[in-house]
């Protein structure tokens, strides 16, 4: 072994091989003129979010040559970093919970350590016209409403317990549950206005959709996928337990660095053409010839690729019926975390404001104070196409309603209108309405010839989360390995 390669681990050698296999770019004009692609890889992965990067990493570690084609000019998919008051923060997915073991392990492998979400002090709740301060995870509703809420949660958990993620359509009562919206279920089963309104607000917060948009079966499936409603909605011990100083996005960036030239940015894929011997994938950066393709982008975005031969009716039909939720994420920096001085945790759940919920967003890196919050569902739809200055004014007005005039003087402000992001067009996840999972569900995962489907929507656990994206990428890599 020469001095030059002495320091390279076995994995590094695989990486170097994969990068070499990805080859060099053909000029687009040559492709347009109909020449066959000269670049060959074992697997083409479409999308450089956590699902695609994980799939590529697994395949490269197994000795396959891979190229990851990313439409956007960056990696990370529905995670993304932004600079706020000198700190790199997440403007996409950000949290991690204790049962999200695949994300925790991946973070550890790349030397990135989460810190707990700040939860000291009182949360504020303002639902159904009643304001309250409360501590911990039990929302501050009036006792009678809280009792109804508790019974609803118990029933949701019990029914979700009859579902095996990621195949809710196999549940005994799937057809009944998939015939109604969550809103219909609320009206029939939750006899308290504030309890119903709280659940609507939670649906908005966890699925960035309205209760009228969501199939009740889909909601149960989402709960099952998270291992319960508690894990889904809780901060401490739940999906919002911890976050990453310097961003969770940096993990995606580190995987991409490791994959090196195998990740091709600004390469939206226009066409996937299968024939008897393989697949040709055409992108804005030219074409690749391959044996297998893993499509990791959400179904509604995968629909925007042309397929030859055309997709089966069931798969195409699914892609017409899996809209992404509507979300705008905002992070604000303040000179001080002044709410902490008022004994507040920074967390506010309100049905009175368009902006919200919001949370303290401090990390050990944060010099002053920071808040993170969302326009979700209908408010996201109302605000997405308006000028940024109007959105900012609304955010600050809403925060000041609970936190006072000090909230009017942020020192920095960043936002991401995910429904306007050209290659995501929504977030956090695809949310089917009634009839879709029972009518088209199997097409979410079933391969089409040499095309395999990944992405957080397909995960066997934590669908809709970064952890689910990672799991789906690993599963797709295994599928490809079995079929090669």
The footprint of its own copies (CB under 8 A) covers 28-29, 32-33, 175, 178-181, 183-184, 187, 209-213, 268, 270, 300, 303-304, 306, 310, 312-314, 316-317, 320-324, 326, 378, 380-381, 384-385, 417, 419-420, 422, 425-426, 433-436, 438-440
Rounded alpha-carbon distances, angstroms, from residue 100 to 228, 282, 461: 13, 35, 9
- Min separation Cβ 92 and its own copies, Å: 16
- Min separation Cβ 184 and its own copies, Å: 5
Computed on alpha carbons and rounded to an integer, the radius of gyration of the chain in Å comes to 23
Handedness of CA 361, 328, 397, 213 (dihedral sign): negative
Pairing of strands 286-295, 451-453: parallel
- Min separation Cβ 437 and its own copies, Å: 11
- In angstroms, the CA 33 to CA 97 distance is 50
Instruction: Name the residue nearer to its own copies (CB basis): 33 or 482.
Output: 33
* DSSP category for residue 406: G
* DSSP category for residue 225: H
- Min separation Cβ 422 and its own copies, Å: 4
- Min separation Cβ 33 and its own copies, Å: 5
3-state secondary structure of 52: helix
* DSSP category for residue 4: G
Tell me which residue has tokens 């074409």: 287
Q: Which of 50, 61, 59, 390 is nearest to 254 (CA)?
A: 50
Instruction: Name the residue nearer to its own copies (CB basis): 169 or 244.
Output: 169
* DSSP category for residue 267: -
Instruction: Name the residue nearer to its own copies (CB basis): 57 or 321.
Output: 321
Instruction: Name the residue nearer to its own copies (CB basis): 67 or 214.
Output: 214
- Min separation Cβ 313 and its own copies, Å: 4
- Min separation Cβ 351 and its own copies, Å: 15
Instruction: Name the residue nearer to its own copies (CB basis): 6 or 172.
Output: 172
Q: Which of 308, 338, 315, 415 is nearest to 89 (CA)?
A: 415
Phi, psi at residue 332, to the nearest 5°? -120, 145
Q: Which of 257, 251, 265 is nearest to 60 (CA)?
A: 257
Instruction: Name the residue nearer to its own copies (CB basis): 76 or 433.
Output: 433
Instruction: Name the residue nearer to its own copies (CB basis): 101 or 270.
Output: 270
């Amino acid at each position: 072994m020469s001095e030059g390669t002495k320091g390279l681990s076995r994995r590094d050698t695989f990486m170097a091989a994969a990068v070499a296999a990805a080859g060099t770019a053909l000029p687009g004009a040559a492709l347009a003129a109909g020449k066959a692609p000269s670049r060959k890889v074992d697997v083409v992965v479409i999308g450089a979010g956590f699902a695609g990067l994980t799939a590529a990493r697994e395949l490269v570690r197994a000795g396959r040559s891979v190229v990851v084609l990313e439409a956007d000019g960056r990696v990370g998919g529905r995670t993304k970093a932004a600079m706020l008051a000198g700190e790199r923060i997440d403007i996409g997915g950000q949290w991690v919970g204790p049962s999200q073991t695949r994300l925790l392990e991946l973070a550890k492998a790349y030397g990135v350590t989460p810190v707990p979400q700040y939860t000291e002090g009182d949360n504020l709740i303002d639902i159904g016209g009643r304001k309250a301060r409360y501590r911990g995870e039990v929302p501050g509703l009036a006792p009678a409403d809280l009792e109804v809420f508790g019974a609803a949660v118990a029933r949701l958990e019990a029914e979700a317990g009859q579902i095996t993620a990621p195949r809710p359509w196999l549940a005994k009562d799937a057809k009944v549950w998939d015939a109604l919206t969550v809103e219909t279920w609320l009206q029939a089963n939750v006899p308290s206005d504030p309890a119903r309104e709280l659940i609507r607000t939670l649906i908005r917060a966890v699925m960035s959709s309205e209760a009228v948009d969501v199939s009740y079966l889909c909601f149960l499936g989402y709960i099952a996928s998270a291992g319960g409603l508690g894990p889904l909605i809780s901060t401490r011990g739940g999906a919002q337990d911890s976050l990453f100083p310097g961003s969770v996005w940096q993990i995606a960036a580190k995987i991409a660095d490791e994959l090196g030239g195998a990740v091709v940015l600004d390469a939206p894929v226009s066409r996937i053409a299968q024939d008897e011997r393989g697949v040709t994938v055409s992108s804005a950066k030219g074409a690749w010839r391959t044996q297998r393709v893993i499509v990791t982008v959400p179904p509604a975005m995968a629909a925007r690729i042309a397929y030859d031969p055309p997709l089966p009716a069931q798969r195409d039909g699914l892609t017409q019926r899996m809209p992404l939720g509507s979300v705008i994420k905002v992070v604000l920096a303040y000179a001080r975390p002044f709410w902490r001085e008022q004994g507040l945790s920074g967390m506010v759940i309100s049905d009175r404001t368009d902006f919200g919920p919001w949370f303290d967003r401090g990390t050990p890196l944060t010099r002053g104070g920071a808040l993170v919050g969302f326009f979700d569902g209908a408010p996201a739809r109302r605000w997405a196409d308006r000028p940024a200055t109007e959105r900012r004014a609304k955010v600050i007005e809403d925060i000041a309603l609970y936190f006072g005039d000090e909230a009017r003087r942020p020192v920095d402000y960043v936002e991401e209108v995910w429904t306007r992001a050209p290659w995501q067009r929504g977030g956090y996840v695809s949310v089917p309405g009634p009839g879709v999972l029972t009518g088209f569900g199997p097409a979410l995962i079933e391969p089409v010839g040499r095309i395999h489907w990944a992405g957080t929507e397909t995960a066997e656990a934590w669908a809709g989360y970064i952890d689910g994206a990672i799991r789906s990428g690993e599963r797709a890599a295994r599928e490809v390995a079995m079929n090669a």
